[in-house]
Amino acid sequence: MDLFRRKFLQQSFLICRILTASRPYSHFTQNYILASNLKQVLPTTSFSVRNYAKGKDKKKDSKKPTKVEVNADFLKTYVNYDQILSSMQKNLDTMKDEYIKNLSLRSTTGAIETLIVNTGGEEHELQELAQIVRKNPKTIVVNMINFPQTIPDVLQAIRKSGMNLNPQQDGTTLFIPVPKVTKEHREGLAKNAKSLFIKCRDSIKDVQNNAIKKLKKKDKVPEDDLHSCIAQLGSLADKFIAQAEHLLETKQTELLGGKD
């Protein structure tokens, strides 16, 4: 009987060695069971298996940034929501207008008519100061007979319009050759489009930051509400900036990807 027990133990330990040598992802432990007579010791084996997530599973488990929803009624409790919304929209509308007026591949008569001229400390559209006609596809004529004193200001406004225009003066008449659309002209307009986007983006951020500064100066704003307001104001600004960025991408595609 002692010989049988000895062989059994030897075989059990041999199995244990084999299992422990080939365990890449599991842990092996030995538990010894003592017989009631405390003389017979029998080994038993147990395993604790560790499951490792695969790369795909890890990606699924990764948390995405939580999208902050804007609650207008909640924001109105602590900030002037309507004014903030109006200011951000105004900056976006200004960018749209600049794109329409000053970033056209072709120097249209409409773009010339709405060109802003600073004269005598006031702003006027060029069509308020002159008669504008398109003589032919390559020339626009600006008649300044009614306000000849504003000619220097008009010339300056046209040259700085970003439309690559070089007007020629003959008395009270200005002749504006419509330039051929070149690669350099396209790239220049695209650069101006980016500058106008940055200006719009920064202005929207200024509205956001000013609102947050005023909010922080208020008394008795619960900490949780304060953090929520700040997050929602950031989300509101991001929405307008995303619209501005979409306008930029559309305009640059038009400028750089279009045909002459």
The pLDDT tens digits for 54-71 are 455 545 555 556 789 999
Pick the CATH number of 72-95+182-257 from 3.30.460.10, 1.10.132.20, 3.40.50.300, 3.30.470.10: 1.10.132.20
Q: How confident is the model at residue 179 (pLDDT cuts 50, 70, 90)?
A: confident
What pTM value is reported for the model?
A: 0.59
pLDDT, mean of residues 138-146? 95
Indicate the burial class of 95 (C-beta count within 10 angstroms; 0-12, 13-18, 19 or more). buried
Indicate the burial class of 228 (C-beta count within 10 angstroms; 0-12, 13-18, 19 or more). middle
Among the listed residues 234, 239, 241, 240, the one whose alpha carbon sits nearest the alpha carbon of residue 211: 234
Among the listed residues 137, 132, 134, the one whose alpha carbon sits nearest the alpha carbon of residue 173: 132
Q: What is the pLDDT of residues 227-250, one digit of tens each?
A: 999 999 999 999 999 999 999 999
Domain residue spans in the chain? Answer: 2-49, 72-95+182-257, 109-177
Q: What is the pLDDT of residues 21-66, one digit of tens each?
A: 555 444 444 444 444 343 444 444 443 434 445 455 545 555 556 7
Q: What is the pLDDT of residues 76-120, one digit of tens each?
A: 999 999 999 999 999 999 999 888 877 877 666 778 888 899 999
Q: How confident is the model at residue 184 (pLDDT cuts 50, 70, 90)?
A: confident
Beta bridge partners of 214: none
CATH of domain 109-177: 3.30.1360.40
141, pLDDT greater than 50? yes
Helix, strand, coil shares, percent, the chain, to 5:
55, 15, 25
The token pair at 77 is 């409790």
DSSP string, 174-225: EEEE-----HHHHHHHHHHHHHHHHHHHHHHHHHHHHHHHHHHHSSS--HHH
Q: How confident is the model at residue 15 (pLDDT cuts 50, 70, 90)?
A: low
Among the listed residues 252, 240, 115, 107, the one whose alpha carbon sits nearest the alpha carbon of residue 193: 252
